[in-house]
Amino acid sequence: MVKSFIFGLLILIGVGHIEAQSCDDITSDALYFSAKATAESEESARLLAQDYLINQISTTVQSVSALTTTEISGEVTQDYVSTGTNVSSLRLKGLRHMVCSQNRRNNEVTVLVYIAMEDLESSARAVETQVREYFELMAMKEMIGAYSMTDVYFAYLHTFLSPLPISLEHNGRTINDAKTYLEVMLREHLNGLSFDFESITPGHAGMEEQYSISASIANADPGLNYNLHIPSLNARAVFRGGQGMLHVFMRPAAPKETINGYLTFGAGRIPAEVQEVANLRVFSRSMSITLDFSQVISVDFTTELQADHVVATPRLAHVSPRSFSWEMGNQRLSNDQILRVPRENVTGPIRLVINDNQALSVRKTIDGDVVQMNAEAPPESENSLKLSSAHAAHFENLSHFSELQKVLAQLRRGGLAVWGNKTDFVNPNTCWVLLVDPQTEQVQYVLSPHHRGRTDIKSGQTFNEVGEQFKGLIAIWVDFI
Amino acid sequence: MGRFYIAVLMVLMTIGTTAQNRTQIILRNVDGSAVQNNVQNNAQLFINAANIASASEQGIQWDDIDVTDNARDRVDALWQTSPFRCTETRMTTNLLRLPGNRFQVRQIPVVVVKDRVEQELVLNFSAVGALEDVYFGIEQHRYSNLLAEGRDLRDFRRRQMILDFIENFRTAYNRKDLDMLEMTFSENALIIVGRVLQETERGFDGMASLDDRQVELIRFNKQQYMENLRGVFRRNAFVNVTFDDIEIVQHGHHNDIYGVNLKQTWRSSTYGDEGYLFLMIDFEDEDQPLIHVRAWQPEKDTPMKEVIKLGDFDIVK
């Protein structure tokens, strides 16, 4: 590290020519940007002066550096309070330097670094060409309906290499500052993203508090990586191609838990020349995420007769019990974890409510017959099933067959789904089933698949299988890809 | 009621059955220039000429269409085996730009009359708007996804060129275009065809393994392959080849060499199969790309790890 003795930095823009080639001439010439620095070696002084010059140019065009400015003896002295921007990434061709003075006694060298306005403009033009190519690429991709946010991102990063603002024409309109334009696009993209949590799988025995949550991001650009960070759970997940898996350690106290996190994005292969910019310019968005644990939570209890008492013991899975409430009809029997009550007092089914949440309750007779169970038990063989909420959106509000035809055609064009008869599918259990009345041509049922059968999203009714009850209706089986 | 059942049948079979002769094509991004108007006009004239020809079971009437000789020959050849008609009465799409100030219109839904297979038609136009090529494209979302991977303008253009080449290559089989296929393969092309062995070798315990059916890879040279193909074209009234699951890989050192892996479905009047197809394509001459290697392996009996890829070859140029 250099032990620097910086006496000052002079950023001077003067008027005149460079014929004399002296430091003073250059600093007073309006055709040059220049910066001066003093250090104990020429190399150190040159690097410092170069940093200052780049900062100055960057500040001139971007106003991103925080500066305090004081007027001393007619000269402007600038103290750099905070930089922390990407200014060192500026592409500057034609940068030159000269030694202004050397003080051997104090071991000090003062160096002037400068660049001609003409070279500055030439550097800007070189970057502009590159940014224009990205805009052209964006336009080409937009025309074929392909994602182009990666190109927007790369174009944005490249704008930071230009010492001057970039203006160009795009889709018939003039963009005065490409950087701002692209930044708005990127922010809108980030704000438009939404998560669809598709399944929650608990860890194996001994790791029950670990959950693997597979999710997809709607409107994700396949070329970008999205990073989800949930600080409270110290969990991170990377979504590539819009798909990812979040691993969290937690014990839910309710079927639906909301957690807070933030989302950023980046790209897998960032061009080397803008890697530094990418490290410094991070877009982030905070978000609340609701995780649905109802598919893994199980609330149950066992009963046994001990002498003339009934003893009920909770059997819980994947839920953190904070309170117990044993009830019979409108009567509260106990808030203890284990219920012990005289047999003669039990005149009806007993209900166990966990955490005062009716969604976590079970009502049973003392013979073990389940009367009502509100928290879903995990399926025996498959803990992971599609929630299909994103898919349901396609079929909501469908009434006539002609509307269904349009939706199916759209899904096909987008490569999102295939459909046919039941026998066309290897695993029809995962298919949606749409049932149409041939008399009225009305869509009667839209059955979504889940691990216990199917639920009609129109009426909320649940069916174990698609069978006799739908006799006379025409069934179209749809599998999302 | 009957119409409803037909509509349901259409949905389930995904085949259009309505017949109409008139299709309006709207290119939403034309700039109003004479060239681009010419493209739109020619696209519409051609599609409607195809609709009329397919309904009347005759050849296409080219009178009003601005078309190159090459395109006319190719379409006429295609028409012999795979006449088609557009299934839409009105369709809106974008006019795309190709290298050399040329234009392209994609995603025109057509049904090939003979085998009732749905295809998406691609029309290429010259810099002055004349129709210069017609072929069956790959599905639009696959096309978009493959192009979306283009990292920069040059990579995008190359991918566009590869996909156009692949689509044209595929349609050459429909046209039974031996001349084009002959030109496409390099003189020293290596042709590999996988054949499933009927009996597997017995293991050390003398038991034949039913699961380990083996695929023998047979090598052909270009002349042998073309001769076989000539016989196939002669024996079949129509050949329909489709490509799916396309992956494009650029060689790490030789930037002009690309490996293309895809799933090929072959349907013809006498035979059908599905297999993995690998093509090693050399774009050193971008106007005349050459296939150095074509390898086909049966899908059913080839594990993914044994599928031939670009990395399996040492390239000396």
The pLDDT score that the predictor gives to residue A14 is 36
Q: Check A223 against B149: CB less than 8 A apart.
A: yes
Tens-digit pLDDT profile for residues A389-417: 557 777 877 888 888 887 887 777 666 77
Higher-confidence residue: A67 or A229?
Answer: A229
Range of the domain at B62: 14-137
| Mean pLDDT, range B92-121, rounded to an integer | 88
Query: Which 8-state DSSP code applies to residue A222?
Result: T
Cα–Cα distance, A269 to B229 (Å, whole number): 43
Backbone angles phi, psi at A370, to 5 degrees: -80, 125
Q: Report yes or no: A86 and A150 within 8 Å, Cβ to Cβ.
A: no
Report chain A residues whose CB lies below 8 A from the CB of B139: 415
Would you call A412 an interface residue with chain B, using a CB distance cutoff of 8 Å?
yes
Count of domains forming chain B:
2
Residue A204 has pLDDT above 60, yes or no: yes
The pLDDT score that the predictor gives to residue A89 is 60
Instruction: State the smallest CA–CA distance between residue B145 and chain A in angstroms.
Output: 6
| Mean pLDDT, range B11-38, rounded to an integer | 73
Is residue B172 in a domain?
A: no
pLDDT band of A330, cuts 50, 70, 90: confident
Is residue B192 in a domain?
A: yes
- Calculate the average pLDDT of chain A: 78
Residue B81 has pLDDT above 70, yes or no: yes
**Matching fold, domains A192-292 and A298-373:** yes
- Kindly indicate whether the domain formed by A192-292 is annotated with CATH number 1.10.1760: no
Q: Residue B245: which region, alpha, beta or left (left: phi > 0; alpha: psi -120 to 50)?
A: left
Q: Which CATH class is domain A298-373?
A: mainly beta
The pLDDT score that the predictor gives to residue A369 is 60
Higher-confidence residue: A452 or A100?
Answer: A100
Same domain, B189 and B282: yes
Is residue B31 in a domain?
A: yes
pLDDT band of A368, cuts 50, 70, 90: low
Q: Check B4 against A419: CB less than 8 A apart.
A: no
Same domain, B208 and B296: yes
The pLDDT score that the predictor gives to residue A227 is 93
Is residue B61 in a domain?
A: yes
Most confident of A19-33, A190-204, A403-417: A190-204
| DSSP H or E run through A327 | strand A324-328
Higher-confidence residue: A383 or B130?
Answer: B130
Q: Which residue carries 């200014």 as its tokens? A: A87
Please state the domain extents for chain A. 23-119, 192-292, 298-373, 389-480
pLDDT band of B75, cuts 50, 70, 90: very high
Strand arrangement, sheet containing A298-306? A298-306, A309-317, A339-342
| Mean pLDDT, range B178-188, rounded to an integer | 88
Higher-confidence residue: A373 or B187?
Answer: B187
Q: Report yes or no: B276 and B297 within 8 Å, Cβ to Cβ.
A: yes
Higher-confidence residue: B246 or A378?
Answer: B246
Share of chain A above pLDDT 90, in %: 19
Is residue B143 in a domain?
A: no
Same domain, B213 and B130: no
Would you call A133 an interface residue with chain B, using a CB distance cutoff of 8 Å?
yes
Same domain, B89 and B189: no
Domain end residue (candidates: B137, B160, B193): B137
The pLDDT score that the predictor gives to residue A378 is 38
Residue A29 has pLDDT above 70, yes or no: yes
Report chain B residues whose CB lies below 8 A from the CB of A130: none
Is residue B220 in a domain?
A: yes
Report chain A residues whose CB lies below 8 A from the CB of B94: 143-144
CA B283, B287, B292, B296 dihedral sign is positive
Q: Which residues are CB-neighbours of A468 under 8 A, at least 6 positions away?
A: none
Closest to B77 (Cα-Cα) out of B233, B244, B307: B233
Report chain A residues whose CB lies below 8 A from the CB of B106: 144
Distances (CA, A) of A302 to A211, A308, A368, A378, B189: 26, 17, 7, 17, 74
Own/partner long-range contacts of A73-81 (Cβ < 8 Å, ≥24 apart): A75/A10, A75/A12, A76/A11, A76/A12, A77/A8, A77/A9, A77/A10, A78/A9, A78/A11, A80/A52, A80/A55
Is residue B146 in a domain?
A: no
Cα–Cα distance, A54 to A162 (Å, whole number): 11
Cα–Cα distance, A339 to A412 (Å, whole number): 56
Would you call A425 an interface residue with chain B, using a CB distance cutoff of 8 Å?
no
Nearest to A136 among B94, B106, B153 (CB): B153
Instruction: State the smallest CA–CA distance between residue B96 and chain A in angstroms.
Output: 7
Tens-digit pLDDT profile for residues B207-222: 334 345 567 888 888 9
Same domain, B306 and B194: yes
Distances (CA, A) of A186 to A42, A146, A150, A156, A268: 43, 16, 10, 9, 17
Would you call A8 an interface residue with chain B, using a CB distance cutoff of 8 Å?
no
Instruction: State the smallest CA–CA distance between residue A118 and chain B in angstroms.
Output: 28
Token pair for B289 = 């790309």
The pLDDT score that the predictor gives to residue A224 is 92
pLDDT band of A178, cuts 50, 70, 90: very high
Q: Find the CATH number of the domain harbouring B296.
A: 3.10.450.50
Higher-confidence residue: A398 or B74?
Answer: B74
ipTM, 2 dp: 0.71
Domain A23-119: which CATH number of 3.10.28.20, 3.40.1390.10, 3.40.50.720, 3.10.20.90: 3.10.28.20
Q: Check B153 against A441: CB less than 8 A apart.
A: no
Cα–Cα distance, B291 to B279 (Å, whole number): 7
Same domain, B198 and B113: no
Q: How many CA atoms lie within 13 A of B94 on its CB side?
A: 13
| Mean pLDDT, range A344-369, rounded to an integer | 86
| DSSP H or E run through B243 | strand B239-250
Same domain, B80 and B192: no
The pLDDT score that the predictor gives to residue A413 is 66
Token pair for B215 = 């695929």
Token pair for A64 = 């991103």
Q: Report yes or no: A450 and A436 within 8 Å, Cβ to Cβ.
A: no
pLDDT band of B197, cuts 50, 70, 90: low
Closest A-chain CA to B31: A172
The pLDDT score that the predictor gives to residue A452 is 59
Query: Which 8-state DSSP code applies to residue A350?
Result: E
Residue among A131, A144, A151, A473 with most chain B CBs within 10 A, to mutate: A144
Tens-digit pLDDT profile for residues A210-230: 899 898 998 899 889 999 999
Q: Report yes or no: A434 and A395 within 8 Å, Cβ to Cβ.
A: yes
The pLDDT score that the predictor gives to residue A61 is 40
Would you call A242 an interface residue with chain B, using a CB distance cutoff of 8 Å?
no
Q: Find the CATH number of the domain harbouring B123.
A: 3.10.450
Domain end residue (candidates: B137, B170, B192): B137
Same domain, B34 and B120: yes
Q: What number of other Cβ atoms are within 10 A of residue A283's Cβ?
A: 16
Q: Check B4 against A147: CB less than 8 A apart.
A: no
